[in-house]
Structure 1
Amino acid sequence: MEEKSPIVPDVAVKGIATGLCMMAFFNLLWAGIAYGGLKTTNWWFLMIVFPALSIVFVINAVKLFGMAKYYPKLTSEADLAEEKRMGKWFGIIFGAEGLGIFIGINVVINLGYPQLTIPVLALVVGLHFFPLAKVFKRTIDYYLASWSTIIAILSIVLTLNKTFTENGMLAFTGVGIAIATSGYGIYMLLSGRALPKIAAN
């Protein structure tokens, strides 16, 4: 007997589309930070890659939002409860991330290290992927969390010991986190492109 493929609900399609939009935005944000450090060098042109990826992410997100209407809605109580649980925890984690950024930035400024604002921001971003991995049961979040956290810690250490100039810190941190957001966006892009095949089975 042939095994049936799992039904893909419309909320899963919209979730991927929303994720692509978020990665497009954050990709541009971190690429902009990196550009701030690279604009006086011959390497600034590398920043074209990240905006180009953001455009691809947005185009695919629009397609997925359009496709979502062809997928079934969640109807079972268990599925609806699980969706609500994940939404609640996503909101809590997102709120904690915002609070962590606010506290972290104020701490380094009050300690007299305003140059660490961007690395601390990157550190909080990296750390927030760890609980997300558990909530959404995605292994890739652990990789992104580890990568982003390492980039942030290296940036803090290398800035404090004067290895990095301010521009060097901006370039290193911006490129490092933009690689993470690009990787996440590409993962979502591939997940979205696999959806029609899953739905057709």
Structure 2
Amino acid sequence: MKPITKNDVEGVRGEIYHMIIFAMAWVLIGEYAINFADYALTGGIVLAIVVALTLVSENLYGREDDLPDVAAPGRRRARNYALIFIFEGIAIMVTWVALLRLGYETWVIPAFAGVAGLHFIPLAAVVRQGSYYILGIWIMAVAAAGFFRMRSGVMPDYQVECLIAYGCTLGAVVDAGWIVLRTYRRLK
């Protein structure tokens, strides 16, 4: 296994914060979908996990000084990272407008989740985070399953939206945990 560097830890910390933001956004969507019927219990649990991930990130920050420093990633990698998020934003806006104009507003959450899952596939290659491939596939599968449950009318739309949002949150939290475990394993 290749020794871990200061830049590796900085990259991991960035990805932990990416997962924190992603998880918090989706848990809020889920809570809103069910009108906080669980008294924000799920949101509270995710918030506790987010606090733990933040503390882990700060612990990693404290360890950076003891690690060797190597050249920062190239400009091309940073440009590709930015382009992925720009295209994701454009895809979400186009999808949102198209679905609303066509009268399919109930499909917005599954479509957003599908776009969010899709963005993890190229992002995995750019940030060299193999677990993002699994996360992207998981989120797209959750979005597709939710879409077909919604379309068939098996469950009320708000419940499907909540399950999609919680599925995205679960994927982000599990992936962040996996990233942390792998990093600490490399630090030993």
TM (normalized to structure 2)?
A: 0.87
Deviating above 6 A after TM superposition, structure 1's stretches of 4 or more consecutive aligned residues are: none
Does the CA contact (< 8 Å) of 1:23 and 1:57 recur in 2? no
Does the CA contact (< 8 Å) of 1:31 and 1:51 recur in 2? no
CA offsets 1:114-142 (integer angstroms, 9 cap, x no match):
12222111110101111122334443222
Instruction: Give matches, 1:47-196, under 5 Å.
Output: 47-75=43-71, 80=72, 83-196=74-187
Counterpart AA for 2:68: P
| Aligned residue-pair number | 188
Gaps of at least 5 residues in structure 1 are none
TM (normalized to structure 1)?
A: 0.82
Does the CA contact (< 8 Å) of 2:33 and 2:159 recur in 1? yes
Name the structure 2 match of 1:32: 28
Which of 14, 31, 42 is 1:18 aligned to?
14
Question: Matched residue of 1:8: which SS?
Answer: coil
Question: Matched residue of 2:2: which SS?
Answer: coil
Gaps of at least 5 residues in structure 2 are none
Does the CA contact (< 8 Å) of 2:88 and 2:115 recur in 1? yes
- State percent identity of aligned pairs: 20
Following the alignment from structure 2 to structure 1, what is the Cα–Cα distance between the partners of residues 185 and 54?
Answer: 17
For the pair shown, which has the larger CA radius of gyration, 1 or 2? 1
Does the CA contact (< 8 Å) of 1:119 and 1:152 recur in 2? yes
What's the Cα RMSD here?
A: 2.2
Counterpart AA for 2:131: I
